[in-house]
Amino acid sequence: MSKQAINIGVEGNDGTGDSIRESFRKANENFTELYAVFGQGGQISFRALSDVPDQLGAYKIPQSNAGGDVILMKELAGGQGITVDSLADDKITISNTGTVISNDTLPALGGPLNASNQGIANPNISSAAVTALNVAHGTSFTLDDLVITKGYSDSRYLRSAGGPGSSGQIRARTEPGNSTAYTFTIESFSAGDIISTGHGFETSANGIAYRYNSTGTDATGLSSGTIYYLRYVSANQLSLHTSEAEAQNNDDGTRVKISVPVGSGSGVQTMFDAAYDSILAGNWISTESLPRKSVVRRQGDSMDGLLYLSDHPGAHAGATPQSPYARCSRRCYSTITLCKSINRFKQRMVS
């Protein structure tokens, strides 16, 4: 309360001041408040203090200001995943709903996750899931960044062959009809990278070797006939690198690429798979496995096509390549037939 002053009048005994009773009432109340301040009994209202607001407000708690010289009344509010219940007269209840991940609309790990030998299942692996993730967190992830399930992996990637009854198997592709699939056209350059709409590569192709070619002038930093290594940037964009290791370097801060200026080069500019060898028969690349139906095994199979020997057999190796016996052009239909043909060559050479 404010200090109560005793009215003593204008002059002595003029009857204008407080009565004796009123004067001592004020004196008693003043002393009661003083005793309360010094902890000697009595009570004092919190709002009576000079540095406390006259109105405290509903469900607020006191806190000093930045200067430490004034008391402020502040509301206790919960942040993300936190609720505060101040309605009870005897307690304030603070609840953390964020501990239940399903209640958190924007969950994110603050550090490495230890599954503690527990299973983690049922992720959504789709373009829609990527879009929802990026919208919620303001990120730019792609489908390649999503964690996949075992079933997803087993249904899309090669598995090693198992024993009898095993479902595991490796399948090699059928021979392509031609070699055009090994070439793609460079439409333009952007941010130093190749632009080729729907190029078909994924991150698993990082480090693949391709040979550059231009029917006009070469793009700056590139030379026709030279092998470069590709790295996936987006569904329509690829970066170029001078080595396989650099194309597979996942450190954005240290990875070095060939930065080709916009509008660089002229004519038709293409990239051709460096693993394709036109000298070899068929339209497979030189480093891939062939399907069982396209190879001949030692135990015997029918061989379709001409057989070319690299040299004369036995002691006649190295003879003039134009010799009619340096190459077997007869059609061989089994391993046994092949052996008989070679034996006949030997006999004719001896004779």
pLDDT digits (tens, 9 = 90+) for 302-346: 888 777 777 777 777 777 654 444 444 433 334 445 555 665 655
Q: Residue 168's pLDDT band (boundaries 50, 70, 90)?
A: low
What does 91-150 look like in DSSP terms, one character per residue?
Answer: --EEEEGGGSGGG-SS---SS----TT--------SHHHHHHHHHHHT----GGGS---H
Separation of CA 120 from chain center: 18
Could you tell me the two tokens for 200? Answer: 């078909």
Given a cut of 50, is residue 175 above it in pLDDT? yes
Residue bearing the bigger pLDDT, 257 or 73:
257
Given a cut of 60, is residue 250 above it in pLDDT? yes
Contact 133, 139 (CB under 8 A): yes
Separation of CA 124 from chain center: 15
Contact 255, 245 (CB under 8 A): no
Could you tell me the two tokens for 116? Answer: 């503690």
Closest C-alpha to 74, from 64, 88, 87: 64
Give the whole-angstrom CA distance, residue 193 versus residue 205: 16
User: pLDDT at position 54, please?
Assistant: 78
Average the pLDDT over 140-158 and give the result: 80
Backbone angles phi, psi at 330, to 5 degrees: -75, 150
Among the residue ranges 10-14, 57-61, 119-123, the one predicted with the least confidence is: 10-14
**3-state class (DSSP) for residue 207:** coil
User: pLDDT at position 256, please?
Assistant: 96
Q: What does the buried/exposed string (b/e) look like for 321-349 if buried means 16 or more CB atoms within 10 Å of the residue's CB?
A: eeeeebebeeebeebebbeeebeebeeee
User: pLDDT at position 335, please?
Assistant: 46
Q: Residue 199's pLDDT band (boundaries 50, 70, 90)?
A: very high
Q: Residue 48's pLDDT band (boundaries 50, 70, 90)?
A: low
User: pLDDT at position 142, please?
Assistant: 86
Q: Residue 32's pLDDT band (boundaries 50, 70, 90)?
A: confident
- Per the listing, tokens 């967190």 go with 137
pTM for the model stands at 0.53
User: pLDDT at position 322, please?
Assistant: 41
Given a cut of 60, is residue 257 above it in pLDDT? yes
Closest C-alpha to 348, from 318, 328, 322: 328
Give the whole-angstrom CA distance, residue 86 versus residue 92: 5
Given a cut of 60, is residue 166 above it in pLDDT? no
Q: What does the buried/exposed string (b/e) look like for 129-162 if buried means 16 or more CB atoms within 10 Å of the residue's CB?
A: ebeeeeeeeeeeeeeeebeeeeeeeeeeeeeeee
**From residue 29, how far is each of 5, 16, 26, 39 by CA, in Å?**
11, 22, 5, 15
Given a cut of 70, is residue 152 above it in pLDDT? yes
Residue bearing the bigger pLDDT, 174 or 90:
174
CATH class of 180-273: mainly beta
Give the percent of the chain with pLDDT over 90. Answer: 32
User: pLDDT at position 214, please?
Assistant: 97
User: pLDDT at position 325, please?
Assistant: 40
Given a cut of 60, is residue 80 above it in pLDDT? yes
Q: Counting Cβ atoms within 10 Å, is residue 12 exposed (0-12), middle (13-18) or buried (19+)?
A: exposed
Given a cut of 70, is residue 348 above it in pLDDT? no
Average pLDDT over all residues of the chain: 81
Sequence ranges of the domains in the chain: 1-57, 123-171, 180-273, 296-350
